[in-house]
Homo-oligomer: A and B are copies of this chain.
């Protein structure tokens, strides 16, 4: 039987398919500009009911809500500090998560300690939730290492730069959980751009075939560097999952409560042995792709401004205030904590030593390698020759 694409198509701003798009006759629904998504808090901070997902945040306490708020504020503060450290030359590069705090904190807080997380290079908020010291994230951006924490310390894998690779690692890890008979789950992060990589599709398929307990969490921040997401996909990304045989859902990624609820749903069903799920968190990269990028070359600022109205932190603050879940004192204290975090990060980065030059030869192999030993020795002799020359 024919399965026509029933999805609402996204607006096609690019002219890439312009010439033929007009000839299509099969789209069943007219294009709509706003995708349907799971939302529990409106941009104005109003709680809206959702029959399917309310139950996943039903028992949430004011304290927990304040906790989410705190997580987002501190993450943003950390992120801003890192951006400014890059400008000061302390970091070589920074990939800001500005705007994506709710998606990351909501999903990150949904994970259990024994779950395992596979991030991209932008999941500073998730790292925060996992208890990774934020200063550890900065090593690779400063250029002192390529991954500065023990993945098994917090079940938070290293940042992965080759787009999409980690989706397969996550799936394999989840297959291992099944083999172990454990009831934990895995969550794999990736972006809208990454969805185009073959590895991500292969991961979807392996996960489905082995019914692996893995949640694919795609932060659709609308951009892959300069490419808007309609250059990556013809239909909403959450629908990709269906073709591989598992559910997909689009959540308001600027709504921390909805992100928490939907991720809990997905992780719980994974833990119950119901297999993978795909979550598309609809959000926005408020800043540049990285500090090397200049978004004014490819996008209008009014788009960014429109998203500013949907700010994830602001909306939770409105909700907290409207429902009297937080008072002035809380916000003031958080402000202080924020500044302290910024200071700590600043100082930690400035104190970061360059690695010893012999680190080049360390850890290339776990069991050693004759050539590495030989080259290390030659390198040492070469270095020593200068010491000799300098009469040291």
Of residues 170 through 187 on chain A, the ones whose CB sits less than 8 Å from some CB of chain B are 178
Mark interface residues in A23-38 (1 if CB within 8 Å of B CB, else 0): 1111000000000111
* Nearest CB in chain B: distance from A160 CB, A: 16
Query: Residues of B contacting A6 with CB < 8 Å?
Result: 242
Q: Quick check: is A232 within 8 A (CB to CB) of the other chain?
A: yes
The residue in chain B whose Cβ has the minimal distance to the Cβ of A52 is B2
Copies in the complex: 2
Residues of B within 8 A of A246 (CB): 5, 234
Residues of B within 8 A of A275 (CB): 20, 24
A37 CB contacts on chain B under 8 angstroms: 1
Nearest B-chain residue to A168, judged by Cβ: B198
Docked Cα-Cα span, A210 to B24, in Å, equals: 13
B234 touches A209 (CB 8 A): yes
Asked, given contacts A2-B247, A275-B20, whether A198 binds B209 with beta carbons under 8 Å apart, the answer is no
**How many residues of chain A get a CB closer than 8 Å to chain B's CBs?**
57
Given contacts A3-B249, A202-B201, A242-B5, contact A208 B235 (CB under 8 A): yes
| Chain B CB within 8 A of A196 CB | yes
The complex places the Cα of A234 from the Cα of B242 at a distance, in Å, of 10
Q: Which of A79-87, A96-104, A215-223, A266-274 contacts B (4 or more CB under 8 A)?
A: A266-274
In the complex, the answer to whether B198 meets A26 with C-beta atoms within 8 Å is: no
CA distance A127 to B219 in the complex (A): 45
Contact of A247 with B198 in the complex, beta carbons under 8 Å: no
Chain B residues with Cβ below 8 Å from A231 are 209
